[in-house]
Amino acid sequence: MKNPSEEQLEQWHKDPNNWKLGLFYYNPDDERLFPPKRMKWAGWTVNFANPKSIVAFVVLVIVLLLFVYRKQVF
């Protein structure tokens, strides 16, 4: 779905069927890479139904690990 309304985004966020085990956001209709967590004040999460979101998450983790590793070597 292209350009969902704020109302639609809020419906998706509140729908318990879009939260696996209450923690993992899984909504194939939501194209955002990092939607807000279930408790919005806690930051963002990964939409595990969006392959682009998973790739972005993996790249972010790799970059962080390389940064930490580099700090330990030097």
The pTM (predicted TM-score) of the whole model is 0.79
Interacting residues of 53 by C-beta distance below 8 A, sequence separation 6+: 32, 33, 34, 46, 47
| Phi, psi (deg, nearest 5) at residue 57 | -65, -45
Which pLDDT band, with edges at 50, 70 and 90, does 74 fall under?
Answer: low
The pLDDT tens digits of the residues spanning 6-49 come to: 999 999 999 999 999 999 999 999 999 999 999 989 999 999 99
Which pLDDT band, with edges at 50, 70 and 90, does 4 fall under?
Answer: very high
Torsion of CA 13, 14, 16, 19, to 10 degrees: 20
